Amino acid sequence: MNEFQKKYQKEIEELVNACHRCAELNYVTSSGGNLSLRIGEDLMLITPTKTLKRTMRFEDICAIKLDGEEVYFPEGKKPTGEWKFHTRIMRRRPDIRAIVHAHPPILTGFAIANDGTMEKPFLPEPIIEVGPILTVPYETPLSEALSERFDEVIEQSNGFLMENHGALFCSFTGIEDAVELLNMTECMAESILVARLLGNPKTITKEYVEEMDWVIKERNLKVPGVEGKFRSVGEMYHLSE
Ligand SMILES: [Zn+2]
C-alpha cells in the first residue's frame, strides 16, 4: 500500500465495496457505470475506465481534483471517461459527497420511455431521500455536452434519469448510501410497473406530499436538492404556489 492508499484506505474500501454491490444488483454490466467519492473540498476518488465493477480492486481506484487534474492514477489505470460529469456535479453541488452512475434495467427503461413518470410522488421514502427523478436530455457518452446537460437539473433533486442511457444518484453522506438510493428508486420503478399492470398508478396527494416536511424534520434529514433551493418538499415537486 502506498502513502496515498494508506491515507484514504477507508474511503477506497468504501468505493470498491460499492462497485461490488452495484455489480451484484446487476446495475452495471461489462465495464459500464462509474462511481465517485469526495475526499476533500476539491478532491475525489473515482473508478477507473475499462474495469469491471464486479472485480474492482483496492489498487484500481484513481483520484482527481475537481478541475480534472491528476492526483493519483495507479499504473495502467485512468479515471472513467465520464469524470467530466462527476467533477462538474461535485463543483455545482458542494453538499454532495458521493455519486453513482449506473444502468439499472428498470429505471433505464423509464429513461428510454422518458414520459415524466419518475418525476411524480409515488412513495414516501424516495420523496424524502431522493426527490423527483428528473431527466437529463440525451448526449453522447464522455462528451462535454453530456456533463453540461446536468446544469439544467442538478440543483433540483438528488436522483436523475439520463435519457436513453441510465441513472445517476447523489448522496449527502457517502457512496454506500448513494447505491442504496439507487436501489430504492429501482425498486420503486418496479413497483410502478406492477401498479400499471394492475391499473392506473396513483400519486400521493399534494396535501400528503407537503406533510413530508414534518417527516424530514422528525428524522433530522435535509430536503433533497442543493442547500437552500427548496424550502419545502411541496416546492420541490412544484406543488405549492
Ligand atoms: Zn453510462
pLDDT at 81: 96
Arch. (CATH architecture) of 3-236: 3-Layer(aba) Sandwich (3.40)
pTM over 0.75: yes
Q: Is 18 exposed, middle or buried (0-12, 13-18, 19+ CB in 10 A)?
A: buried
Distance between Cα 137 and ligand 1 center (Å): 13
Q: 90 CA distance to ligand 1 centroid (A)?
A: 18
pLDDT at 228: 86
CA of 219 to the centre of ligand 1 (A): 33
Which residues, 6 or more positions from 48, have their beta carbon under 8 angstroms from its beta carbon? Answer: 60, 61, 62, 73, 74, 77, 78, 79, 80
Q: Ligand 1 centroid vs 151 CA: distance in angstroms?
A: 18
Evaluate the CA torsion angle 209, 213, 217, 218 in order and state its sign: negative
pLDDT score recorded for residue 14: 98
Q: Rounded to an integer, what distance in angstroms lies between the CA atom of residue 178 and that of residue 199?
A: 31
* Other beta carbons within 10 Å of 8: 20
Measure 101 CA to ligand 1 centroid, in angstroms. Answer: 6
14-48 confidence digits (pLDDT tens): 999 999 999 999 999 888 999 999 999 999 999 99
Which residues in the chain land under pLDDT 70? 240-241
CA of 30 to the centre of ligand 1 (A): 11
CA of 214 to the centre of ligand 1 (A): 36
Spatial CB neighbours of 208, under 8 Å, sequence gap ≥ 6: none
Confidence (pLDDT) at 241: 54
170 C-alpha to center of ligand 1: Å?
Answer: 15
Q: How far is the CA of 31 from the centre of ligand 1 (A)?
A: 9
161 CA distance to ligand 1 centroid (A)? 11
**Per-residue DSSP letters for 141-198?**
TT-HHHHHHGGGTTTS-SEEEETTTEEEEEESS-HHHHHHHHHHHHHHHHHHHHHHHH
What pLDDT does 91 receive?
A: 97
**Ligand 1: distance of its center to the CA of 135 in Å?**
14
Which residues on adjacent β-strands are paired with residue 135? Answer: 161
Per DSSP, the residues of the chain read --HHHHHTHHHHHHHHHHHHHHHHTTS--TT--EEEEEEETTEEEEPBTT--STT--GGG-EEEETTS-EEE--TT--B-TTHHHHHHHHHH-TT--EEEEE--HHHHHHHHH--SGGGS---HHHHHHT---EEEPP--TT-HHHHHHGGGTTTS-SEEEETTTEEEEEESS-HHHHHHHHHHHHHHHHHHHHHHHHS---PPPHHHHHHHHHHHHHTT---SSSTTS-SSHHHHTT---
What is the distance in A from the centroid of ligand 1 to the CA of 239? 31
How much distance in Å is there from the Cα of 165 to the middle of ligand 1?
6
Tell me which residue of 198, 9, 54, 215 sits closest to 129, measured CA to CA: 215
